[in-house]
């Protein structure tokens, strides 16, 4: 049976611009005709990937490959949710949080081989008001960092780290009222992350217990910690022990409402988005088919 595969390449995401051209060159070698019909398109503006993915659904493509980062994946996934069209990923963005979590190889040939093997999972996606996310979303300091990072000229981990350090001292924790699966919490927090996967990006684990197939989101409430303790918390993040910190509280929920007095922005799969002060979160269980390695 002929498989129609559309590669959507974001030419400006991340720092791997030359490698994106390799994807277009190598794809026909792995997805060989006549078994596969391969088409490669490049995005030209924000939201373009959503338009291209919509066309793929209408033209009954079998697979849409996101070549970029978490933002590109988000633009494509919001159209593929609740359809038979399968998402595949070649991770060439900045943080690549979802790809790290799904164990997708960062070598282009190996990532293409994963697509050929066609091992699929039915992943949850999450609605925040009317917006969908796949990996993580966050409010508070997290959203501020996403916004500042988006306006920097350079991408990459060092730029991200520079933004975090620069903004940390000035940031005052905000007050939040949370009702998650019936449980009520009123707290001040540095940030709150909604983790569908365990990854912020750059191999930083925000919630080691997050599972993209469990019908729940890990709501991670993080307090501001003394600056001298940051190296200790950073070590816990990288060693997948952050849930043991006394500054971190994690609640699993399929539905939640969060209200805040201040803060207009939200980090949605790494991209800053302007949002209402009241948030309604709801998990869409098993709503997105994703190709992953059989080791996931």
3-118 CATH pick, 1.20.140.10, 3.40.50.10330, 3.20.20.20, 3.40.190.10: 3.40.50.10330
Distance between CA atoms of residues 165 and 145, nearest Å: 10
pLDDT (tens digit, 9 = 90+) per residue, 82-115?
A: 999 999 999 998 889 999 999 999 999 999 999 9
- The CATH code that applies to domain 131-285 is 2.60.200.40
Whether the predicted pLDDT of 65 surpasses 90: yes
Q: What is the mean predicted confidence (pLDDT) over 176-197?
A: 96
Distance between CA atoms of residues 182 and 194, nearest Å: 17
Give domain limits for the chain: 3-118, 131-285
Q: Output the six-digit token pair for 53.
A: 């993915």
pLDDT (tens digit, 9 = 90+) per residue, 249-260?
A: 999 999 999 999
Whether the predicted pLDDT of 274 surpasses 80: yes
How do 217-222 and 248-253 pair as beta strands? antiparallel
Supply the pLDDT for residue 232.
82
Q: Output the six-digit token pair for 256.
A: 């939640």
Q: Output the six-digit token pair for 63.
A: 């697979």
Across the chain, mean pLDDT equals 92
Max distance between CA atoms of the chain, in angstroms, equals 60
pLDDT (tens digit, 9 = 90+) per residue, 206-242?
A: 999 999 999 999 999 999 998 788 788 778 777 888 8
Distance between CA atoms of residues 125 and 146, nearest Å: 20
Residue 16 — pLDDT band, cuts 50, 70, 90? low
């Amino acid at each position: 049976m002929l498989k129609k595969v559309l590669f959507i390449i974001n030419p400006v995401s991340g720092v791997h611009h030359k490698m994106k051209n390799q994807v277009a060159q190598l794809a026909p070698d792995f997805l060989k005709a006549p078994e596969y019909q391969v088409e490669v398109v490049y995005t030209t503006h924000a939201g373009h990937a959503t338009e291209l993915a919509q066309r793929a659904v209408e033209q009954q493509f079998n697979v849409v490959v996101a070549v970029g980062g978490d933002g590109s994946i988000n633009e494509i996934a919001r159209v593929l949710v609740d359809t038979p069209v399968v998402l595949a990923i070649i991770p060439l963005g900045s943080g690549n949080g979802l790809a790290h979590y799904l164990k997708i190889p960062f070598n282009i040939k190996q990532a293409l081989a994963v697509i050929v093997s066609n091992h699929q999972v039915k992943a949850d996606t999450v609605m925040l008001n009317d917006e969908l996310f796949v990996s993580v979303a966050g409010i508070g300091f997290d959203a501020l960092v996403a916004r500042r990072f988006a306006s920097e000229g350079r991408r990459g981990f060092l730029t991200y780290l520079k933004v975090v350090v620069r903004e940390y001292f000035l940031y005052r924790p905000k007050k939040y009222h949370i009702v998650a699966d019936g449980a009520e919490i009123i707290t001040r927090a540095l940030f709150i992350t909604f983790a569908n996967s365990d990854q912020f990006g750059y191999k930083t684990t925000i919630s080691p217990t997050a599972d993209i197939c469990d019908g729940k989101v890990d709501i991670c409430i993080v307090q501001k910690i003394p600056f001298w303790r940051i190296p200790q918390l950073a070590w816990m993040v990288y060693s997948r022990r952050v849930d043991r910190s006394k500054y971190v509280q994690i609640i699993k929920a399929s539905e939640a409402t969060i209200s805040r007095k201040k803060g207009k922005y939200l980090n949605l799969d790494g991209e800053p988005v302007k949002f209402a002060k009241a948030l309604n979160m709801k998990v869409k269980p098993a709503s997105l088919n994703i190709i992953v390695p059989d080791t996931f």
